[in-house]
């Protein structure tokens, strides 16, 4: 029982010591939230200070009286002894000392030590150095809270009603189209195998796309081609185009099916910059996502290191945008792996919320990276040949492609799926293609791809494809031999008509359909942000400080 009283007396002495330390400025080191910052508090005596810090803590004089009274009292007075023990816990919690340990293992020091603390009315004689030392070693909970607490991050953006409703109905459309898009198959006797698997694309919280693969079976494939379909189709509807790309060029071809949903809150759609950058990231590093998808589609070999990105119509906008992001963000040692970009009927409308995908990408890509376009005659779907002006501005005097004379928007769209229904609809709405122009697309493609891989597109002495020296619009004509008869085309730039008011209205409408203006949850891709789930999808927390929370606002997609 004596030890319990000694502990109680020590607590009272320590309370007086803390009061004295507050007068000397040591209270700042304790950094307790309950300390009154008012300068007038420095005039309070130690006897008045202790109760202000803990209303239940006994004053020093009361501690001394209690000691004398209890020394003569009988041990039956247990209730009186328990109350100081409760007070002791509150005192210890407040001043951050090691008194809590003394309760369980009392200090065996001489009994005269508490008498010194009681007899000395001067606060300076209390064991103040011990109190300060312990406080420095173990900051109070209030101090810890002060250090760890930071302003909370702003709330993550959430989808609007338009995002939710629009994405729901777009998802229904995507589902309906997917149900009639059967896995790819090649005809008997083909030198290809084909398969479909899923491809994990690192956009938003993660995007899973169906991917159609075509693999050569004779010899080792030496080219790797990424192909992006147009709006609002799927890769399976381009089956004949993809077969020709793979077979004529000894190339592995991958063609993911990506939604065209313009209401996607995270812009994980063909026309969204986050998706375009995510496609570029597929080709960085070990290309684990691409390799896993190829394995799932039945391929057991390795993927060629160098690659070309291609696409048709709105898919051409994604292709060139992804190429721009790849060159901008890929490690320097990997930039040369992309040997070129091949576009079919690209326009200068859409693909970006600011400007357009074609112009933005050409600003990122050096002139040494070939970006070649096979265009049709000016029409509504290529915005009356709007790409001509962009190529002329960004790459003047350089060979940028060919406009097929008599060409149609569907020249690079060849399909036999669903009994030819997709091909029939494209022909009805977008115009019929002539057989020689259809084959001319692949003749030009084959020659240009070969030169891209050999690095000689801009070397007139060694290149083997069909080129021409740019001149005035529609001045230079090239002939393209095909098995269906020669085709002819203008070396870009070609003449384009002045848009009528109706054309401008249609261009505005297509611009709205080919850009994600409603992507309230999207994060602009750049060198400092990559939407990789392993890095950024989970919120990182340190204490009460939350770092870089990501918007969890995936659009409804089926």
What is the block-wise mean pLDDT of the chain (558 residues), using blocks of 10 residues?
47 48 42 44 43 45 47 46 46 42 46 43 47 48 46 73 94 95 92 97 94 95 97 95 97 97 93 95 96 96 96 96 96 97 92 85 97 95 91 96 95 93 91 95 98 97 95 94 96 92 87 84 67 36 30 39
Indicate the pairing of strand 371-375 with strand 401-404.
Answer: parallel
**CA distances (Å), origin 4, targets 13, 80, 403:** 14, 11, 99
CB atoms under 10 Å from CB of 21, counted, come to: 24
Which value, in Å, is the radius of gyration of the alpha carbons in the chain? 38
Q: Which two tokens stand for residue 280?
A: 């570029």
> What was the pLDDT predicted at 31?
39
Q: What is the H or E stretch that residue 344 is in? A: strand 338-344
CB atoms under 10 Å from CB of 157, counted, come to: 17
Task: Kindly tell me the burial class for residue 306, based on how many C-beta atoms sit within 10 Å of its own C-beta (0-12, 13-18, 19 or more).
Answer: middle
**CA distances (Å), origin 311, targets 89, 315, 471:** 73, 5, 26
> What was the pLDDT predicted at 557?
38
> What was the pLDDT predicted at 12?
52
Q: Domains of the chain, with CATH numbers?
A: 2-148 (no CATH), 183-528 (3.40.50.1820)
- Asked if 193 and 224 count as a contact pair (C-beta separation under 8 A), the reply is no
Local structure of 156: helix, strand or coil: coil
- Asked if 470 and 373 count as a contact pair (C-beta separation under 8 A), the reply is no
């Amino acid at each position: 029982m004596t030890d319990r009283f000694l502990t109680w007396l020590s607590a009272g002495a320590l309370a007086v010591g803390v009061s004295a330390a507050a007068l000397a400025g040591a209270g700042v080191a304790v950094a307790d939230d309950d300390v009154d910052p008012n300068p007038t508090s420095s005039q309070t005596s130690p006897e008045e200070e202790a109760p202000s810090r803990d209303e239940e803590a006994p004053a020093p004089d009361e501690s001394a009286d209690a000691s004398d009274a209890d020394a003569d009292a009988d041990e039956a007075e247990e209730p009186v002894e328990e109350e100081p023990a409760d007070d002791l816990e509150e005192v210890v919690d407040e001043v951050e000392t090691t008194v809590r340990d003394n309760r369980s293992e009392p200090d065996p020091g001489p009994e005269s030590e508490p008498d010194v603390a009681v007899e000395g009315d001067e606060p300076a004689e209390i064991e103040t150095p011990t109190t300060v030392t312990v406080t420095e070693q173990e900051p109070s909970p209030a101090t810890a809270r002060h250090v760890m607490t930071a302003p909370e991050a702003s709330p993550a953006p959430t989808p609007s009603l338009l995002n939710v409703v629009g994405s729901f109905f777009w998802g229904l459309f995507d589902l309906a189209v997917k149900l009639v898009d059967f896995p790819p198959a090649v005809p008997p006797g083909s030198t290809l195998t084909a398969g479909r698997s899923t491809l994990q694309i690192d956009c938003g919280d993660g995007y899973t796309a169906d991917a159609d693969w075509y693999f050569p079976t004779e010899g080792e494939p030496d080219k790797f081609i990424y192909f992006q379909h147009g709006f609002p189709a799927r890769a399976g509807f381009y089956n004949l185009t993809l077969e020709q790309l793979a077979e004529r060029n000894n190339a592995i071809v991958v063609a993911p099916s990506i939604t065209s949903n313009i209401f996607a809150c995270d812009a994980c759609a063909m026309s969204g910059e986050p998706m375009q950058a995510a496609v570029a990231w597929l080709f960085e590093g070990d290309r684990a996502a691409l390799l896993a998808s190829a394995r799932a589609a039945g391929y057991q070999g390795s993927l060629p290191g160098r690659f070309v990105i291609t696409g048709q119509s709105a898919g051409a906008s994604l292709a060139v945008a992804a190429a721009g992001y790849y060159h901008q963000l890929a490690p320097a040692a990997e930039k040369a792996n992309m040997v070129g970009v091949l576009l079919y009927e690209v326009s200068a409308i859409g693909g970006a919320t600011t400007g357009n995908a074609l112009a933005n990408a050409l600003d990122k890509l050096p002139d040494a990276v070939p970006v070649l376009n096979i265009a049709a005659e000016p029409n509504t779907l290529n915005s009356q040949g709007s790409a001509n002006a962009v190529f002329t501005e960004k790459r003047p005097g350089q060979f940028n492609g060919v406009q097929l004379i008599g060409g149609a928007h569907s020249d690079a769209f060849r399909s036999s799926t669903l009994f030819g229904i997709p091909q029939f609809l494209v022909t009805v709405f977008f115009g019929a293609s002539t057989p020689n122009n259809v084959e001319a697309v692949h003749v030009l493609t084959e020659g240009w791809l070969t030169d891209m891989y050999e690095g000689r597109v801009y070397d007139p002495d060694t290149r083997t494809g069909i080129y021409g020296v740019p001149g005035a619009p529609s001045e230079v004509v090239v002939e393209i031999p095909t098995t269906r008869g020669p085709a002819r085309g203008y070396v870009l730039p070609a003449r384009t008509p002045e848009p009528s008011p109706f054309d401008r209205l249609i261009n505005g409408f297509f611009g709205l359909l080919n850009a994600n203006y409603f992507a309230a949850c999207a994060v602009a891709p750049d060198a400092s942000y990559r939407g990789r789930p392993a890095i950024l999808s989970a919120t990182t927390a340190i204490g009460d400080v939350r770092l870089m929370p990501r918007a969890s606002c995936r659009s409804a997609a089926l």
